[in-house]
Homo-oligomer: A and B are copies of this chain.
């Protein structure tokens, strides 16, 4: 039996504050998945699981003070941010309850039998979606609530009717334990088995989880190497499973000459606020900003530098990220042609934000490729371009992203072409504004081409539920044996019946 302790660490000091759990060994992971698998059928009742999601939100709010204090100690994200994140998380749980009640996600399609159909007679066919089974959720470092135990992957998977086994992130094990307990309590309170949600700790536990024969899908938020390793394991299984991984994103921003001329100070200050928000620990942080060479761009950089200098220092999530950020900044700053208008650095155990500036033409050099890779933490790279060809050259070197942003003036002739150019690069394309801040809304898309995401799904917004379902068609089944949602008459869910969409 694995007795490796799991420590809670104070993110502001790096000190261990207590032993929270032990790492799950292979047998413990197996037990968790089997228990979830056994609990899974209880989630078939849509009314019950909507009630569960709402009860989970209520419990999290009831335990809010302790959750926020614990998360603040473990992540240093601050009680203000964490209060907002918890509100976002409970809103998300309740949103999925509404989605479960509405039933549109079931994608019901009914075709009545038509013996005279051309080119061939048609049997009675009724299609809807059923839960995939047990889902593994790999929690994120940077959102101890919204992308962790009670986060969007969990909420959407439970909403789909899947039991969930969460692999906790080592940055916030105590928060994870508290949140898992709240969710399990909520399950029991509404009459579901507690094991519809389980929690495991430890790196090997994650490896065991994604390979477990009874796991049917996984969701992941984290780094490109870690996510790719798990994706590869998921794909190499005897029976491969869907792996929805959000791995990393540079989130390019293009500022046109005209936008810089009109709004240099606003854009510079906005960029400073966005790349330092949450100490730059957002997957949507703008990491590469294409700014015109010349006077307007200079004004933009001046405002950016002022904002960066003014932004308060702060602790990063953990010591590894701290080291990675400092080393990543230094590596980039040392490249030929890269200037360092604001140097990042240490402030005791905390760090200060910084930014780099480089001629866009340099980004065509292989040695500078690292500037096109995400560096977690409060750093961004400004690339100064002289013409449209240089913008195109940089964009042509980018992989997939969660977001891409255009700052242009509405009447600009090139704006439409630039938006069209950014669309293949990202899952969310912004006109103005900043990509940090991901609204929980039906139209959100938080997921983009690889490596941003390993699938075409989204991990935020109502359609996140689609990732955990598969369609099943029933042919010739008597009405009495069909799920109520597939029977004739008014059953309260939107459907397509004989080709016609019904509300």
Contact = CB atoms under 8 A, between A and B. Distances in A.
Interface of A: 84, 87-88, 91, 104, 107, 109-111, 117-120, 122-123, 125-127, 130, 132-133, 231-232, 235-236, 239-240, 242, 399-400, 410, 415-416, 419, 423-424, 426-433, 437, 439-445, 447, 449-451, 454-456, 458, 461-463, 469-478, 480-481, 494, 496, 499, 501, 503
A477 B235 contact: no
A471 B442 contact: no
Nearest to A498: B442
A88 to B, nearest CB: 5
Given A456-B470, A471-B427, A472-B423, A496 B442 contact: yes
Contacts of A118: 87, 91
Contacts of A433: 123, 475-476
A118 to B, nearest CB: 7
Contacts of A235: 231-232, 235-236, 240
Contacts of A400: 239
22 contacts: A84-B120, A104-B496, A111-B441, A117-B439, A123-B433, A125-B441, A127-B442, A127-B443, A133-B424, A242-B456, A410-B481, A416-B481, A419-B477, A429-B473, A429-B474, A430-B474, A431-B474, A431-B476, A431-B478, A433-B475, A445-B471, A463-B471
A235 B242 CA distance: 11
A223 to B, nearest CB: 16
A88 B472 CA distance: 22
Contacts of A450: 239-240
A109 B443 contact: yes
Contacts of A231: 235, 240
